[in-house]
Structure 1
Amino acid sequence: MVSKTEEEQIKNLESQVDNGGGGVWEYLCLVRKLKLRRSHKVLKHGLHILNNSKARSALGPEEWTLYEQVAVAAMDCNSLDVAKDCIKVLQKKFPQSRRVERLQAMLLEAKGLWTEADKAYASLLEENTLDQVVHKRRAAMAKAQGNMSLAIEIITKYLEVFMADHEAWRELAEIYVSLQMYKQAAFCYEELILSQPTIPLYHLAYADVLYTLGGLENIQTAKKYYASTIDLTGGKNIKAIFGICLCTSAIGHLSKGRNKEDKENSELQSLSVVALEKEYKQKAPNKTALLNAALRNLRLN
């Protein structure tokens, strides 16, 4: 995950570069380091360096890293001729490189030549079964073809080896949610929370899944994770606050007669409504009427 400091750094650099203020190479390095998707900007600024022989030669060995970065960005932007040219340069410099072969397979994938790309990826995995990028590309290719069951199979097998890959767990969770397989998605988010307990995004997503599953126990647990999201974000997550409202309303209907819990829910409900109204008045005053209507529907206003 990108930290607030890194977000600010990339934002400032991006503004500086876009306005011709220099720092292009520093920007491209930071994008690569943080694994950000800034494909159009990488393509534009990267080509500017590659097309300038003096600037390119000043990079030293990093020149080849830039060719690879621009090739991937070009494929993202469907500038396949540019990607092909970059890969040709790399192939000439590194004729036996498996890394370059991987780029060639990615180019086949970008062209929609699924069978050829799959054969190329399979060949690479025969030589190195632990190539994480290739495993992920195969999963992405399955998704692109709409074959979600194959994507699940690939990612599940991948996670048997690379259990600490948070990105893969999140990807698997999102696929399960898209297929309305909420119990499986919940398991993925549980793994993510266990390994990275301070990331509010995972708490929020887990709460959403549990609330969708329904039932008193799930909704009670969802309420706890909406609350932990609020705690981790310093009370600034509106979606989590509204989630508390949804949960307390549902629990009120499902657990009638439990006086202690009714009282706790009522207090939490009131605090959540006040917090929501305050946030909307400050940030979206033109939508307060919609908020009030939603709260009335929940019988919270």
Structure 2
Amino acid sequence: MVSKTEEEQLIRLENQVENGGGGAWEYLCLVRKLKLRRSDRVFKYGSAILSDPKKRSALGLEEWTLYEQVAIAAMDCQRLDVAKEYIKILQGKFRESKRVGRLEAILLEAKGLWAEAEKAYSSLLEENQFDQVIHRRRVAMAKAQGNLSGAIEWLNKYLEIFMADHDAWRELAEIYVSLQMWVSLSLYKQAAFCYEELLLSHPTIPLYHLSYADVLYTLGGVENLHAAKKYYAATIDLTGGKNNRALFGICLCASALAQLTRGRNKDDKENSELQSLSAEALEKAYKQQSPTKVSVLSSALRSLKVSS
């Protein structure tokens, strides 16, 4: 994640370059350091440096790093002619390089030559099964073709090796949730497992608590609803009480539990109190943030038999 200071530095350098004040190389280095794409700017600034022999020679060995960076940006910008040219230059300098071979495979993918790209990726993985970039490219390629079941397969294989990649766990969870619309409720259980992995390694990120709560609520049942309520509450706690979706989630859980646990006095009382507190916080937030929609919220809460 880019910090506010780093984002401000990027904007400052970008404005400096656009106004003719230099700083293109510093901008490109910062983008690379932060592992960002910013492909349009990288292509514009980087190709300008590479097309100037004096500026290019001043880079020393960094010249080749820039060729790689701009080649990737060129593919993102659909300037496949430029990408091909730069990859050819890298091939001439680094013969038999697996890193350049990876770029060639990505270019095949960018051209839509899926079978050829898959063959190239498979060959490269035979030589180095721990190449994260290639594993992730296979996932991206499957998604680009609309093959979500294939993307799931590649992500699961990837996570067998790189279990600490929380972005991959989140991506897998989101695919399971999207597929559930067309397949079966059991995929939500797979999504729940992914969010559990995320929460184990990143217990202070509100988004993971919220997403896990959503999945649990969808699965339903007393146990899952109680758990969902707990994770919605954690989201509220981690955001300082400023997450309306989590507040409404508590109202939904409490309403569903009231129907399932009717007659159990302790549960009834607890749910009623929690509903009222959440509804009160929600209405207060709506009055401040979106006063024209307070009536819509009130109507929704009444349909859940909730009052603040």
TM-score by length of 2: 0.88
CA distance in 1, matches of 2:95, 2:55: 25
Matched, 1:48 2:45: no
Q: Structure 1 residues 83 and 220 mapped into 2: Cα distance closer, same or farther (>3 Å)?
A: same
Q: Structure 1 residues 282 and 85 mapped into 2: Cα distance closer, same or farther (>3 Å)?
A: farther
| SS in structure 2 at match of 1:270 | helix
Aligned partner (choices 14, 19, 22) of residue 17 of structure 1: 14
* 1:237-256 correspondence to structure 2 within 5 Å: 237-256=243-262
Deviates more, 1:120-129 or 1:154-163: 154-163
Deviates more, 1:156-165 or 1:117-126: 156-165
User: Cα deviations across residues 106-154 of structure 1 (Å, max 9, x unaligned)?
Assistant: 0100111001101111111111111111111112112222222222222
* 1:179-198 correspondence to structure 2 within 5 Å: 179-180=179-180, 181-198=187-204
> For the pair shown, which has the larger CA radius of gyration, 1 or 2?
2
| SS in structure 1 at match of 2:155 | helix
**For residue 168 of structure 2, what is the aligned residue in structure 1?**
168
Q: Structure 1 residues 236 and 68 mapped into 2: Cα distance closer, same or farther (>3 Å)?
A: farther
**For residue 89 of structure 2, what is the aligned residue in structure 1?**
89
**For residue 123 of structure 1, what is the aligned residue in structure 2?**
123
User: Cα deviations across residues 180-231 of structure 1 (Å, max 9, x unaligned)?
Assistant: 1100010011011111111112111111111111112111111111111111
Matched, 1:289 2:286: no
| SS in structure 2 at match of 1:179 | helix
CA distance in 1, matches of 2:243, 2:26: 33
CA distance in 1, matches of 2:22, 2:296: 46
CA contact (8 A) 2:46 2:70 kept: yes
Aligned partner (choices 207, 210, 213) of residue 207 of structure 1: 213
Which amino acid is 1:112 matched to? Answer: G
User: Cα deviations across residues 50-88 of structure 1 (Å, max 9, x unaligned)?
Assistant: 334444334332232222222222222222122222212
Query: How many residues were matched structurally?
Result: 298
Q: Structure 1 residues 286 and 255 mapped into 2: Cα distance closer, same or farther (>3 Å)?
A: same
**For residue 64 of structure 2, what is the aligned residue in structure 1?**
64
CA contact (8 A) 1:227 1:240 kept: yes
**For residue 31 of structure 1, what is the aligned residue in structure 2?**
31
CA contact (8 A) 2:13 2:27 kept: no
**For residue 279 of structure 1, what is the aligned residue in structure 2?**
285
Aligned partner (choices 208, 225, 230) of residue 224 of structure 1: 230
| SS in structure 2 at match of 1:299 | coil
Give me the identity figure in percent.
70
**For residue 234 of structure 1, what is the aligned residue in structure 2?**
240
Which amino acid is 2:162 matched to? Answer: F
| SS in structure 2 at match of 1:117 | helix
Unaligned runs of 5+ in 2: 181-186
TM-score by length of 1: 0.90
**For residue 73 of structure 2, what is the aligned residue in structure 1?**
73
Q: What is the root-mean-square deviation of aligned Cα atoms in Å?
A: 2.1
